[in-house]
Structure 1
């Protein structure tokens, strides 16, 4: 590894929320970020991503990406960049595998819907309910998942990851709201000590995952859009970034067919990934060198306060234009509009049901509420009398836990839950 890579022996980067030995008795030696990666891989939230929408839901077909395959592609791209730049491969992989564990069912519409509910509430006859004036953002939720919602022992909540992994997961996308230019609000439910929400990740590994996520979205969502027919292949060929890529690699589409073969589409997308990785690598080397020349180490660590893993200005302008074009084509399509509308309705109705009738929630959610609010360890449903339920409905913790429960659902489980809540048993 290069001198600017995150070090496995860094006391600042490897510290955890709860102190634990580096190598517990009876285990083989593993570096701290390797342990993080393994804990994420074995988490329930990681497995659930297999059944969460990326762009198109599972009914669309077997070859469309889901949240898990997207995560694996981000990991591959990030590791390719990180290995070439001499970064800490295990930290790169840990951040990449954990970056989206806080995503909701049904893609980004789930995130937006839960955010609106928590911030603005839901209409119920003559009043608004569920207003706690907090946000729901998937990168913050990913941190909440690994810090409190997953578990590995009885002593504490969460899977106790290192600071570097936690900070990288949070920083894989922006932490500042465009409208207010202030950080997203999560109340006191997150430990954000030593994390500057307005700055990029302090490790190059965290910055690498952030840009790998952008590359994956730009290229792989584009491929799914072309496969679906929402994006026309001939339209794609007119995009400036695609033109540059084809010229660089000498790619010529089949001009004797109105329907280019899958191999041709795949060939272009594959090279577009390589084209963007190459640009990031070339640009980042210069920025890293320039940063190191003007800074000094802190306790042997390089802590980066500027974005050093970036695209070149020219490529970034074209990539941004391509990404915006892809998003508009897909999001504004009839198919995605219908899917998003149904998904928003499902989530709102489930939230309303759980709020009005808390006993419809599973035991583990109710038990969690009782433990956190009342310090009740021996939970049973008899505790939830009318007075307790009324108290819960005015408690922001309870409302946040409903959001956690719905946000953790897979597409299929959310659909089944909606049917169970609202469909008569004889249908």
Structure 2
């Protein structure tokens, strides 16, 4: 079967997602203007993401290296654009929906924190109760944690303002689900709760039993993210002089794995796990590395390399020579600015991308032909795929794992990256401490969002009251901007669950015993029970517990939205004594 016939198979069996207005949480009117081309629903989503404020902020959010280290290191924005380009290419190869793949890719990291994954980990530890900020947050309660892909949904479904009468950007379920599933959605011990990040969890709830995207386009973005990370982590790592690595050091590692794969394919004549096109692409990668290694000064004495039987020992010799003899001469990337070195680096990353795109394309098309139609299901008029179809081949995954391991050891575990992560963790924690101590240090719109959330808790769960200055006060009526300082102080103590410092009126209409209530709140768990089935006491306890959640969540959301620069500036203003 020719490649065009394979692509026709995809089209004839309707395996690509199709655009329908009813795929949104709120169905929108189609605005057709005579004489202008009409965008489909996925193209609309793509444009909404590109023009969002959160997307623009990605420019100054860390990928691995902060943008302050240099103009040529990847930021979260340039990473996103590279993932998008790779996803579009694979979607086009497979005759799937290119606009959908592009929209998912553009939004996949929109919920990322400042300072990369370290910022994410720090906020997650606070939101699961693991980090109590030196016992400031007491009692410790697991509120489901923080994860950037879940927070992306919160930005797109709630925080971004796009329409007058619709909260959030009202994206299609395919885009939202693909963004959520571009990375893991479950973990051991506890789980990130979808209901904390989206207005209507039923909008995606039917897809949550599947750990990967139920659309082929969403699966494309997942693997495109991996491909982009491998090539640009290599590229960025080679720019970092402090790592003491150069082209030869990483090329030898890749070369050894490539030779191992090709030797196995030649020995077993086994192309079941890798396509002929992938083998050809892998051979090109091998030949370019071999040619470029033979040009290096450190390899002049052993240019004549033999394939397969003698290759492993030859590469070992090369590696020993590099590690033992030439560390001092080449360890600090002294010729990184040399055009021949730049060319070799660019060729390496280009060949790596070309191989992975070829490997994923051919392996995925094979999966589509074998199990694509059988894997297709119709659930509530939605087309779902309940198998992992878009993926590396077995050998492609081996090479991906080998490169990832090298990156973790040589780059992610490096002195500079660890110092940056440690500094980032400190800044995030100090910001959280400051806002937790006094929420009025956050902008008014954050406080308004907090007050609206608390008002909702009071209306849906329990109307909570405090006795302040000789009168009963319903907390849903308290305003950070309009009430006096004494009321705000007691209100803030309630948000922190410092119940011994306030007169909180309980479900029995009496001032609560703070120790008793805190003990009950710490143990409280409604599991899968409905709110209407709770007793009055349980509704009261749940409401108090949720109030503290929204306090923490408001702070978490504010910090997560910051760029690296803004977070650093806020830290300086809060702790350097410079004030405004």
TM-score by length of 2: 0.68
What secondary structure, in the 3-state scheme, does the structure 2 residue paired with 1:29 have?
Answer: coil
What secondary structure, in the 3-state scheme, does the structure 2 residue paired with 1:385 have?
Answer: helix
Gap runs ≥5 in structure 2: 1-9, 259-280, 299-329, 457-475, 498-547
Would you say the 8 A contact 1:18–1:160 is kept in 2?
yes
How many residues in Structure 1 have an aligned counterpart in Structure 2? 422
Greater mean alpha carbon deviation, residues 195-204 or residues 369-378: 369-378
Query: How many angstroms does 1:267 deviate by?
Result: 0.9
Would you say the 8 A contact 1:241–1:315 is kept in 2?
no
Residue 24 of structure 2 is aligned to residue 44 of structure 1? no
Which of 88, 99, 102 lines up with 2:97 in the alignment?
Answer: 88
Residue 494 of structure 2 is aligned to residue 391 of structure 1? yes
1:173 match: 183
Cα separation, 2, equivalents of 1:145 and 1:198: 23
Would you say the 8 A contact 1:406–1:414 is kept in 2?
yes
Query: How many angstroms does 1:20 deviate by?
Result: 1.7
What secondary structure, in the 3-state scheme, does the structure 2 residue paired with 1:261 have?
Answer: helix
Query: How many angstroms does 1:301 deviate by?
Result: 6.1
Would you say the 8 A contact 1:23–1:30 is kept in 2?
no
2:6 match: none
Would you say the 8 A contact 2:480–2:488 is kept in 1?
no
Which of 245, 249, 252 lines up with 1:235 in the alignment?
Answer: 249
2:218 match: 206
Would you say the 8 A contact 1:6–1:301 is kept in 2?
no
Query: How many angstroms does 1:77 deviate by?
Result: 0.4
Query: How many angstroms does 1:426 deviate by?
Result: 8.3
By relative contact order (CA 8 Å, sep 6+), the higher-ranking structure is 1
Query: How many angstroms does 1:129 deviate by?
Result: 6.5
Greater mean alpha carbon deviation, residues 74-83 or residues 21-30: 21-30
Cα separation, 2, equivalents of 1:86 and 1:273: 20
1:75 match: 84
Would you say the 8 A contact 2:376–2:385 is kept in 1?
no
Residue 304 of structure 2 is aligned to residue 223 of structure 1? no
Cα separation, 1, equivalents of 2:106 and 2:357: 19
TM-score by length of 1: 0.91
1:96-147 Cα offsets, whole Å, 9 max, x none, are 0000000000111000000111111323467646744321111111111111
Cα separation, 2, equivalents of 1:220 and 1:69: 10
Cα separation, 1, equivalents of 2:566 and 2:409: 29
Would you say the 8 A contact 2:118–2:425 is kept in 1?
yes
RMSD over equivalenced CA pairs, Å: 2.6
Cα separation, 2, equivalents of 1:390 and 1:15: 43
Q: Relative to 1, partners in 2 of residues 1:130 and 1:364: Cα closer, same or farther, differing over 3 Å? A: farther
Greater mean alpha carbon deviation, residues 306-315 or residues 64-73: 306-315
Would you say the 8 A contact 2:282–2:355 is kept in 1?
no
What secondary structure, in the 3-state scheme, does the structure 2 residue paired with 1:95 have?
Answer: helix
Query: How many angstroms does 1:416 deviate by?
Result: 0.3
Residue 152 of structure 2 is aligned to residue 142 of structure 1? yes
Query: How many angstroms does 1:255 deviate by?
Result: 1.9
Would you say the 8 A contact 1:176–1:198 is kept in 2?
no
Cα separation, 2, equivalents of 1:49 and 1:141: 14
Query: How many angstroms does 1:295 deviate by?
Result: 4.5
1:289 match: 369
Would you say the 8 A contact 2:184–2:211 is kept in 1?
no
Query: How many angstroms does 1:294 deviate by?
Result: 2.7
Would you say the 8 A contact 1:105–1:411 is kept in 2?
yes
Residue 482 of structure 2 is aligned to residue 382 of structure 1? yes
Alignment of 1:55-70 (within 5 A): 55-70=64-79
Cα separation, 1, equivalents of 2:102 and 2:444: 34
Query: How many angstroms does 1:84 deviate by?
Result: 0.6
1:326 match: 407
Greater mean alpha carbon deviation, residues 348-357 or residues 260-269: 260-269
Greater mean alpha carbon deviation, residues 130-139 or residues 378-387: 378-387
1:336 match: 417
Query: How many angstroms does 1:25 deviate by?
Result: 8.0
Residue 578 of structure 2 is aligned to residue 410 of structure 1? no
Which of 20, 31, 39 lines up with 1:30 in the alignment?
Answer: 39
Would you say the 8 A contact 1:199–1:306 is kept in 2?
no
Q: Relative to 1, partners in 2 of residues 1:421 and 1:186: Cα closer, same or farther, differing over 3 Å? A: farther
Residue 88 of structure 2 is aligned to residue 8 of structure 1? no
Which of 309, 319, 344 lines up with 1:264 in the alignment?
Answer: 344
1:20-48 Cα offsets, whole Å, 9 max, x none, are 22337899622111110011011110000
Q: Relative to 1, partners in 2 of residues 1:145 and 1:91: Cα closer, same or farther, differing over 3 Å? A: same
Would you say the 8 A contact 1:370–1:379 is kept in 2?
yes
Residue 178 of structure 2 is aligned to residue 164 of structure 1? no
Cα separation, 1, equivalents of 2:221 and 2:579: 49
1:373 match: 454
Q: Relative to 1, partners in 2 of residues 1:324 and 1:403: Cα closer, same or farther, differing over 3 Å? A: same
Query: How many angstroms does 1:200 deviate by?
Result: 1.5
2:296 match: 255
Cα separation, 1, equivalents of 2:296 and 2:282: 14
